[in-house]
A and B are shown apart, each in its own frame.
Chain A
Amino acid sequence: MMKKLAFVMVMLLTFCIMAQDKTVTDVKEILDKMDKVYRADSSEFEMEMEIITPDWQRKMRMKAWSEGMKKTFITILSPSKDKGIGTLKVNSDMWNYFPKVNKVMKVPPSMMMGSWMGSDFTNDDLVKETTFRDDHTAKLLESTEKDIIVIELKPKESAASVWGKIIAKVRKSDYLPVSEDYYDEKGMKVRTMTFSGIKEMGGKIIPSVMEIIPLNKKGNSTKITYLNGKFDIKLDPETFSLRNLQKMR
């Protein structure tokens, strides 16, 4: 009898551990999926960015190339006044290029939290190399919606992150992101990102519209709409060079 009971106990325990393991893998899988929504070994996108503030509104069309997490190149196509303005990011370095004055400016570390091209994205958003999977500890939270998984992400101490925590909502069916709420270190919600317009693009299913609303700036928002894109394409290594930045004008 005792033996039987012990066996059941051991079985139960093993099952529990296994079950826990299962959720851990699940979360990792979700995070991995979230990290790779817009990322691939290489990509090329054309997108539109609409910035709204109480004082002005602006629409820009731009083209972006990326290679892994480390390299990104963005050039503005329109309006014509800004055509050719480019941003190059290699590792944690970032440069802006202004064709009118033929000037490449390195973005200093002090400007990393500054706005990128007047949008609600910070320069840091473009540069950051942290991933949800490797640089955050994740905890599943109870979801009030049936098809939604809610995850709380806290940056690991080793990760260079400006956030206190991120609450991400993803679809249960395909782990595509629905929204991400960013909190500062004091626990105040600072900005909200929402994802919509799920579409097939370049062989991948992605939310084609991404909207960011900073909560500390009333009336501001930035919306990025992906117009078309390709993934895993062969890119000229020269793409991510300062020379190319100046050539794009």
Chain B
Amino acid sequence: MIILKMAFRNILKQKRRTFFTLFSMVVGFILLSISYGFNDGGYANIIKAFTKARTGHIQIHKKGYLEKPGLYSNFVWDDKFIKTVSSIDSIESFTPRIHSGGLAFLDKKTTAVQIKGIDPKREAETTLIDRKIESGSYLSASKDVRYEAVVTRSLADILNLKTGDDLIVISSGADGSIANDRFKVIGIFSKDLDSLYSNAVFVPLNTTQEFLVLDGKIHEVAVMINNYKNSFDDSMKISGIIKSAGIRNISVEPWEIVEEQFFKSMNADKEGTVLVVIIIMLVVGVGVLNTVLMSILERMREYGVMKAMGTTPSFIFFSIVIETFLMSLFASAAGLGLSLLANWPFKVYGISYPEPVSIGGIFIETINSEYVAIAFYLPVIVIMVSSVVASIVPAYKAASAEPVKSMRSY
């Protein structure tokens, strides 16, 4: 027990030295915590924004749709399906979609368009798309309102569209007929949506089904779950429940597979920043090592006297290691509290890019940090391990040096 007491006393003996050692440990802790908060938390935010904007956490299609999407790769969206999916607890919301293409006309102007059949209410609940309307209004959830459309800014610009215009759309019907009809444009989305859906016209689901002769069928269901990290497990769960309900030929995939490209490029990006974090970790470790080393070497004379008076080398060795360990413990506790504070403005306000950066079609203007566990436990490990490791060599040196030599040289 005396060894612990000694360690404590040593810490309190030279307050300024202790303060600087602790200070360098705490600063290192906070630095690491912030960089991890940005790295992991920032990506978590991007994933959340990305999945929320269009993909959802999980998507349901007819088998083979992702490899070869097409008008006929569809499945039935009926009460049974809705009831089956609704019964899954971890699902927060889900929305059906129809994807097709066609030609749009306004006066003498023509352009190719994406036709998106959506359930106005469910889509708004799932992707908050209704908040992106810039002029006019969003699609009405009422079943009686039909042949109305909202369009993306890019399409409105190409055709010189204004709200209230009659947009003519021609496409192929699922019965081989030529689908052709007029849609009243009631709203135009803001530019934000252009990178996700260029030249798109959004039409209520039931109207799209009638227009394309799809008769109760859809191409996709986007699902939001309560924790995006469970996307793989929940996909399996949903798939199992759908299968056991007797709905066949359906595939359920997490966003990581649906948006493989985005996922892969994001992971590559993330690996790049891991290198930066490792460098920070190294700098912090070396900083801690430096101060610990200094504080021990400073006291070599003291240790020489202690040894001359009969203190065993192992006592000296352990008292130094325990002293450093205790300091790293205090530093971690302080670092933890201060990191929570230091991360807070980055979480709330983030850091703004001078120019918005596009990641997978989503424009990111600010990068926000996040309170992620790793940003707090990893610095604790790094600080404690590097401190203790840093103390071993000088402690060994102090413990094994001849008292006369130590007293003379320092």
Contact = CB atoms under 8 A, between A and B. Distances in A.
Contacts of A157: none
Interface stretch (A3-11, A95-103, A162-170): A95-103
A75 to B, nearest CB: 14
A117 interface: yes
B175 A58 contact: yes
A96 B180 CA distance: 12
Contact of A100 (B172, B174, B181): B181
Contact of A103 (B168, B173, B175, B176): B168
A103 B108 CA distance: 11
A118 B172 contact: yes
B177 A58 contact: yes
B88 interface: no
A194 interface: no
Nearest to B103: A105
Given A100-B182, A101-B182, A82 B168 contact: no
Contacts of B178: 82, 85, 96, 98, 117-118
Q: Would you call the interface of chain B mostly helix, strand, loop, or mixed?
A: strand
Nearest to A96: B178
Given A101-B168, A103-B105, A103-B168, A118 B180 contact: no
Contacts of A103: 105, 168, 170, 180
Interface residues of B, number: 14
A51 B176 contact: yes
A103 B166 CA distance: 13
Contacts of B173: 118
Nearest to A56: B175
B277 to A, nearest CB: 52
Contact of B177 (A96, A105, A118): A118
Nearest to A98: B180
Nearest to A105: B170
A240 to B, nearest CB: 21
A186 interface: no
A53 interface: yes
B349 interface: no
Given A98-B170, A101-B170, A118 B182 contact: no
Contacts of A85: 178
B72 A101 contact: no
A58 B213 CA distance: 12
Interface residues of A, number: 17
A58 B180 contact: no
Interface string A73-102: 000000001100100000000001010110
Contact of B181 (A51, A82, A101, A118): A101
A55 interface: yes
Nearest to B169: A101
Kindly name the residue among A85, A100, A101, A119 whose own CB sees the greatest number of chain B CB atoms within 10 A.
A101
A242 to B, nearest CB: 16
A35 to B, nearest CB: 30
Interface in B14-57: none
Contacts of B168: 101, 103
Contact of A81 (B72, B105, B174, B177): B177
B176 A101 contact: no
B177 A117 contact: yes
B215 to A, nearest CB: 10
B177 A55 contact: no
A113 to B, nearest CB: 16
A103 B173 CA distance: 17
A100 B168 CA distance: 10
A101 B174 contact: no
Contacts of A51: 176
Kindly name the residue among B72, B168, B172, B177 whose own CB sees the greatest number of chain A CB atoms within 10 A.
B177
Interface in B172-199: 172-178, 180-182
Interface string B233-246: 00000000000000
Nearest to B182: A101
B170 A82 contact: no
15 contacts: A51-B176, A55-B72, A55-B174, A56-B175, A81-B177, A82-B177, A85-B178, A96-B178, A98-B170, A98-B178, A101-B168, A101-B170, A117-B177, A118-B176, A118-B177
Given A118-B173, A118-B177, A118-B178, 5 more contacts: A55-B174, A98-B178, A98-B180, A100-B180, A101-B170
Interface of B: 72, 105, 168, 170, 172-178, 180-182
Interface of A: 51, 53, 55-56, 58, 81-82, 85, 96, 98, 100-101, 103, 105, 117-119
Q: Which 9 A-B pairs have the closest CB atoms?
A: A118-B176, A98-B180, A55-B72, A101-B168, A56-B175, A58-B176, A101-B180, A58-B175, A100-B180
